Amino acid sequence: MKIKVDERGYYGNFGGAYIPEMLYPNVEELRDNYEAITSDPDFKKQFDQLLKDYVGRPTPLYLAERLSEHYGAKIYLKREDLCHTGAHKVNNTIGQILLAQRLGKKKIIAETGAGQHGVATTTVCALMGVECIVYMGEVDMARQKPNVERMRILGAEVRPASSGSKTLKDATNEAMRHWINNPTDTHYIIGSVVGPHPYPEMVARFQSVISAEIRTQLKEKEGTELPNYVVACVGGGSNAAGAFYNYYDDEAVALVAVEAAGLGNTTGKSAATTTLGKPGILHGSKTLLMQTEDGQVVEPYSISAGLDYPGIGPVHAHLFETGRGTFYSVTDEEAMKAGIQLSRLEGIIPAIETSHAFAALKQMNLKSDDIVVINLSGRGDKDLETYIKWGKY
Amino acid sequence: MTNRREIVSKVEMNRIEKLFQTKSSRVLNVYFTAGYPKLDDTVSILKALETSGADLIEIGIPFSDPVADGPTIQASNDVALSNGMTLKLLMEQLKDVRQEVSVPIVLMGYINPIVQYGIERFCADCAECGVDGLILPDLPMHEYLEVYKPVFEKNGLLNTFLITPQTSEARIREIDNNTSGFIYMVSSASTTGAKTGISEAQEAYFKRVNEMGLKNPRLIGFGISNKETFDKACENANGAIIGSAFIKVLGQEGDMESNIKTFIDQVIN
Ligand SMILES: Cc1ncc(COP(=O)(O)O)c(C=O)c1O
């Protein structure tokens, strides 16, 4: 099966560009230009150079021996937590800032949930000397305080989104409204594989460096490019899309996506979109969406700000619908325990988003000769307060 | 039921078309959010608007995430939803509206609630209630042409697309070809209610589009809030749309009907 986006931005039944006319010229400009710009040798050279010298790529593929022993399989960690700024998000923001410059845009806006995308955006704006405004839900500003201050230190303005659930969905609404009001000089750096076409595919391509590196590194270590499983957490789905991208067509590789089940999928406090959602339209694309019978978007819940989103990227909705992806969901409690476990077994404190991916290992019935690659999407520095509050360590 | 629908679509001329045949200037279209300020206000607002002299009325279907709207209409959406407004309930409220109100009615809404309701059922119910047209701002043109248009037409519903100051001339032509009823000219690059007054640049845009000789009538919306802005908009279009400013009127203290009358009076006289 080919997982491929079509001309209008659909992955099977999901995707597209459902936007009000006010956004049309901006999105059209991006759609008409991004492939030419990003395939230009100069762009590629600058992108690769920055990923290498500034971000620190390639990130290691690390055999986690104690974790492997614990789960009875060979588990590798793709160390996106070692990227500059502490998560995979920067792969995308480097790509988009270079694109924005070539489109002649002078200002940048972004939305952020955990603050990782906000920090990654602010960082590249500082690097390029570009003005930057980041929208962040009020609830998220409170639970990810260090990242708010990091963004401010880096020179960005952080604007609280105080509508709705005051989390990632609402920050995205506010960023879109800002873009409507500032259509000509501003580029909107979306932080995940969501939004109207071409964003989902564009962001996935910038993140696809993750799986490109995994293939090379695994070949060196195991003599094969193909693990049995690639595992990643899914908020909007950018780290997962990056980790899966170069494996879409390798049916032997199981693509495992892990969503946040919050307090549990039957409690009304969850963000597990494939379990609780149905097809719908939000933020410019048709995808799986948590919503009421009347089509109102349901406010999700997760302990992790980066997974607290009522939708998923359209490519993941497609992976789910076609069965190419395997989807698990794990609760706050399971994720927190998995985060502590990784800290104790490997000396790596993961971001709470990432902890969700680790918590799925025990649901997977692994065999001793299985090779598993987990995308360690980010580090836990930003989450210390949440770990401390949770307290069970 | 089906019989009545056929009569609506085949025998009677669409009320929007009829309106523009008899009136081609200073057409006043007023927007309000269904379920605001109170759940059951829909029909009384419609009646008060008609008596006050509104030519066309746009009822907003509330949505949890109205990305094209500014704070005023966002807040009306939130209130309407917490009052318990749903699309199903709106259809029930509008069931007998044609016995009391004869101005053309347009429903405006983000696409998701309509998709969940089911497009066939939605259009059939619209026709049943005597709704004349639809504005679905986040419906892509290709999807309209391939999926929605036949269903709209079967039910006698006209379709309005939006244009903005940034819309290219080629796209304005394309929109003109695929719009029926009227074109919604967004007055500036903004969300609803964001700007006040009309600048020279906006006027230049109104004139530019006016001189394109489009097939459809044009109504200018966003930032139209009083007599001054209404008059200005009407110089280069067939009329204008008032949204946020009217939502503020609905939120005022005192008797709603007389507030509506006072406001509309001030705008058109
Ligand atoms: C470390 C980390 N992982 C994962 C995510 C979730 O985003 P995505 O699903 O786009 O990778 C975030 C989002 O903030 C994050 O910070």
pLDDT by residue for chain B (269 residues), tens only, comes to 444 444 454 457 899 999 999 999 999 999 999 999 999 999 999 999 999 999 999 999 999 999 999 999 999 999 999 999 999 999 999 999 999 999 999 999 999 999 999 999 999 999 999 999 999 999 999 999 999 999 999 999 999 999 999 999 999 999 999 999 999 999 999 999 977 789 999 999 999 999 999 999 999 999 999 999 999 999 999 999 999 999 999 999 999 999 999 999 999 99
Taking 3-state DSSP, the helix, strand and coil percentages for chain A, each rounded to the nearest 5, stand at 45, 20, 35
CB distance from B170 to chain A under 8 Å? no
Q: Which has the closest alpha carbon to B214: B256, B184, B246, B235?
A: B184
Assigned domain for A144 exists:
yes
Q: 3-class DSSP state for residue B162?
A: strand
Of the residues A6, A7, A21, the best mutation for testing chain B's interface (the one with the most B CB atoms within 10 Å of its CB) is: A21
Assigned domain for A324 exists:
yes
Cβ A87 under 6 angstroms from ligand 1: yes
d(CA B19, CA A115): 52
Looking at residue A326, the DSSP 8-state letter turns out to be E
- Nearest chain B residue to A184 by CA distance is B166
Residues A170, A256 within the same domain? no
Token pair belonging to A374: 């987990």
Cβ A113 under 6 angstroms from ligand 1: yes
Q: Which of A147, A307, A308, A355 has the most ligand 1 atoms within 8 A of CB, as the residue to mutate? A: A307
Q: Which of A159, A192, A225 is the last residue of a domain?
A: A192
d(CA A360, CA A259): 9
Token pair belonging to A284: 């410019």
Residues A158, A211 within the same domain? no
Backbone angles phi, psi at A223, to 5 degrees: 75, 5
User: Residue B11: what pLDDT?
Assistant: 53
- Confidence grade of residue A392 (pLDDT, cut at 50, 70, 90): confident
Asked if the model's pLDDT at residue A278 lies above 70, the reply is yes
**DSSP letters along A130-199, please?**
-EEEEEEEHHHHHHTHHHHHHHHHTTPEEEEE-STTSSHHHHHHHHHHHHHHSTTTEEEE--SS-SSTTH
**Looking at ligand 1, which atom is closest to the CA of residue A242?**
11
Q: For residue B191, what are the CA distances in angstroms to A22, B39, B73, B165? A: 8, 25, 10, 13
Residue B241 amino acid letter: I
Cβ A306 under 6 angstroms from ligand 1: yes
Residues A155, A242 within the same domain? no
Would the CA dihedral through B255, B260, B266, B269 be positive or negative? negative
Residues A224, A371 within the same domain? yes
d(CA A26, CA A197): 11
Residues B110, B116, B122: CA angle, nearest 5 degrees? 80
Assigned domain for A13 exists:
no
Token pair belonging to B150: 């036949």
Q: Which of A161, A176, A192 is the last residue of a domain?
A: A192
Cβ A186 under 6 angstroms from ligand 1: no
Q: Which has the closest alpha carbon to A271: A230, A314, A248, A305?
A: A305
Q: Which residues contact A248 (CB under 8 A, 6 or more apart)?
A: A2, A3, A4, A255, A324
User: Residue A2: what pLDDT?
Assistant: 80
Put simply, the answer to whether A180 touches B67 (Cβ < 8 Å) is yes
Tell me which residue range forms the domain holding A158: 18-51+89-192
**B window 72-101, beta carbon within 8 A of A:** 74, 78, 81, 86-88
Q: Which of A174, A192, A210 is the last residue of a domain?
A: A192
For ligand 1, atom 7, the nearest C-alpha belongs to: A235
- This prediction has a pTM of 0.96
**B158-159 and A107-112 as β-strands: parallel, antiparallel, unpaired?**
unpaired
Average pLDDT over residues A272-281: 98
Put simply, the answer to whether A173 touches B67 (Cβ < 8 Å) is yes
**Cβ neighbourhood burial of A26 (10 Å; 0-12, 13-18, 19+):** buried
User: Residue B196: what pLDDT?
Assistant: 74
Active site residue A392: no
User: Residue A1: what pLDDT?
Assistant: 62
Q: Which has the closest alpha carbon to A378: A84, A169, A74?
A: A84
Asked if the model's pLDDT at residue A375 lies above 50, the reply is yes
Assigned domain for A11 exists:
no
What separation in Å is there between the alpha carbon of A234 and the centre of ligand 1?
Answer: 7
**Looking at ligand 1, which atom is closest to the CA of residue A354?**
3
User: Residue A164: what pLDDT?
Assistant: 80
Count how many domains chain A has: 2
Residues A293, A375 within the same domain? yes
Assigned domain for A5 exists:
no
- Nearest chain B residue to A280 by CA distance is B112
Residues A70, A98 within the same domain? no
> What is the maximum alpha-carbon separation in chain A?
56
Q: Strand (E) positions, B26-76?
A: 27-33, 56-61
Residues A167, A277 within the same domain? no
Average pLDDT over residues A77-98: 98
Tens digits of per-residue pLDDT, A134-187? 999 999 999 888 999 999 999 999 999 998 888 899 999 999 999 999 999 999
Average pLDDT over residues A291-308: 95
Assigned domain for A6 exists:
no
We report the CATH number of the domain holding residue A285 as 3.40.50.1100
Residues A34, A178 within the same domain? yes
**Cβ neighbourhood burial of A315 (10 Å; 0-12, 13-18, 19+):** buried
Assigned domain for A95 exists:
yes
Residues A177, A304 within the same domain? no
Cβ A144 under 6 angstroms from ligand 1: no
User: Residue A121: what pLDDT?
Assistant: 98
Q: 3-class DSSP state for residue B171?
A: helix
Q: Are B57 and B30 in contact (CB under 8 A)?
A: yes
Q: Which has the closest alpha carbon to A273: A262, A255, A289, A258?
A: A289
Assigned domain for A367 exists:
yes
Q: Which residues pair with B184 in a beta bridge?
A: B162, B219
Q: Are A12 and A258 in contact (CB under 8 A)?
A: no
Residues A188, A203 within the same domain? no
Residues A290, A345 within the same domain? yes
Task: Mark out chain A residues that contact chain B at CB-CB < 8 A.
Answer: 8, 16-22, 24-25, 163-164, 169, 173, 176-177, 180-184, 279-284, 289, 291, 293-297
Give chain B positions within 8 Å (CB) of A182. Answer: 189
Would the CA dihedral through B233, B236, B237, B239 be positive or negative? positive
Cβ A257 under 6 angstroms from ligand 1: no
For ligand 1, atom 16, the nearest C-alpha belongs to: A116
Residues A326, A380 within the same domain? yes
Residue A358 amino acid letter: F
Residue B127 amino acid letter: A
